[in-house]
Structures are given as C-alpha cells and as structure tokens.
Structure 1
Amino acid sequence: MTWRLRCASPEDAPAVAMVAAASFLTTFAGILDGADIVAHVAKNSSADRFAAWAADAASVVTLAEHPDGAAPIGYTLLTTPDLPLSIDAGDIELRRIYTLPVAYGTGLGPALIARAFDDARAMGRTRMLLGVYGGNDRARRFYERQGFTVAGRRQYQVGATLHDDFIYARPL
C-alpha cells in the first residue's frame, strides 16, 4: 500500500479528529474504561483542537490518506512540549502518532515518524520528546527501534484513573 502524507490544514480537522477517535479506541479498548475513552477523546481530540493545532505555526499536523479514495488512515501531531522534563528551545513533542488497523504492517508508522523528524528539523528543532502509556509494549518497541530512549516518567490521567507513562527523547 502506498499512502499519501500531507500537512493538514484547519479544514482537515474533522478527518484528523475522526482518525484520532478511532485509533485511540482501537488502541485502548479493553485497557481503559469505555466511558473514559469517550470522554478523553471528546476533550482532547475534537475537530476544534486539531484545527487550532493545524493553524498554529509552532505545530505540524500530518495526515495520512489511503491511496484508494484518500480516506484518512493515520496522523501525527508535533507541538510545543507539555511534559514534566527540563525543556529546551530546540525541543518539540510528538504529541500523537496513530494509524488505523487498515495500515498496520504497511510501513506507514515508520513513514509518519520519518516525516515528523524531517518536519521538526525544518522547524529548527534538535530533540523530539513523546509520552507513551507504560503498558503499550508495541508502541514502546516501535519508538525504541526509531532511536528513542527513556528520559523520564509521568502520570497521565484518563478519566478517573492515573496511568504510568514513559517519556522518550531522541536527538534530531
């Protein structure tokens, strides 16, 4: 499968929000409480939030589209870091990277992260940070294959439950 990656505009926000909701549900169903998933997505992945990020010069939203019909199948979000670490001016956070199951095993994940590295360098950034749920071994292995190392920990609240996350860093 060959997908198309492109910088999302504010007009793409509903498509990105749809992928965000579907991918978060796919990733965390059976791990997190269903009502907590719905509330978390409504609060953190609305079309309005993605439109604001897409319009923000300090952020980059990349949308992945299926080759047949251009349906949205993945995305990344680079933005100003909001992590409990010492942050430098050269830092950027990969706040989100998700693909839908239709793209699993196609190389879309590595292509999205390579694009994020390129976009971050183009912004003059020198280090990429990200937070990942500690129990998401699949994601943690992916980030480690991409050269990320653990730089810290945090607790992240979804619904009424605090979850232990790892914070990863990678020089660019």
Structure 2
Amino acid sequence: MEQNQQQWTTIIKPRTGWFDIDLKELWQYRDLVVMFVKRSFATLYKQTILGPAWILINPLLTTVIFTVVFGNIAGLAESGVPSFLFYMAGNAIWSFFASCITGTANTFVTNAGLFGKVYFPRLTMPISQVVISFINLLIQMLMFFCFWVWFYFFGQEYGTVQMNLWVLALPAVLLLVMVMG
C-alpha cells in the first residue's frame, strides 16, 4: 500500500515562544515600514493648521509652561542647570515614550481591517509608529541642542551648561525607552 507523497512548498509552523521574532522577515519588509511611516506622518500633520511646525511648537510650549509653573512658581531647584533646558530635555524623552506607547497601542485597533486582508509581519506597524516617534524626538533634540548652544554662550546668568560623559549614555537610554515603548 503506497501513499501519495506530496511535496509542500510552504510549511506553516506555530511560534515557539513569546519572543520568536523573525528579524530576517522584518528586514525583507523594510520598505513597507518606510511606507507606513510616510503615510502616518502625512496624515498626522496634513490635517493641522500649523502642519509639521507642531513638532516644535508643542514641546516648546510645554517646556515654557513647566518652566513657569515648576521653576518659577513652585521654586523647584534643578541643581544649577537652567530650568528651561532641564524641562525641555525631560519633555523630549517623555513625549517620545508617550507617543511610542499611544502609537503602538492604537496600531492594531486602527489597522484591524488591513491585517485580515493581506499578509505581512504584524510587527511592521508598531515599528513604524516607533520610527515616527523617533523622528519627532530627533527634531526636538535638535531644537534642544540649539537652546543648549544658546545657554552655553549667552545664558550664563541662568546656570552653568557643560557636557560630560553622561552624554555617551544617551543612545542606551533612547534604546531602552524605545524598547519599553
């Protein structure tokens, strides 16, 4: 009794664990991540009056409010650092983390129809949201660096501004925040 042996081209296997991530497949779909980033960035800022300028205006206004409320009214000390820079650095990292959390939490709900129609690695959607948040963070950090340079040369009456070796820990901190988000 001889059975027909068929040769299958695709074998579907269940995942072996929670962290079974196929990085090779994600790399193959990197153009899809770029497309999702462009689409999300365009939809986020085309529908506002100020457009992409909102990336700069929002943290600037938040920093001014924090400086007035916590720095001037509450009188919280920042150990010799200008309070504006202190709150701007904190707001940049916090807004990065918050946008990562809210972006990735909503991605599966808002794109549920797309997931049922086409196959692609599901992790591409959250990765694209984190990339958008990271682009916003880079723009905010550029703004922070401009203010840091201004305080370094002209703002000595507000406190001392210096670089130290803790700057080298910034990539590790950003990676940690990105993974947690």
| TM-score, normalized by the shorter chain, greater than 0.5 | no
- Structure with higher Rg: it is 2
Give the TM-score normalised by the residue count of structure 2: 0.22
Q: Which protein has the bigger strand share?
A: 1
Q: Which protein has the bigger helix share?
A: 2
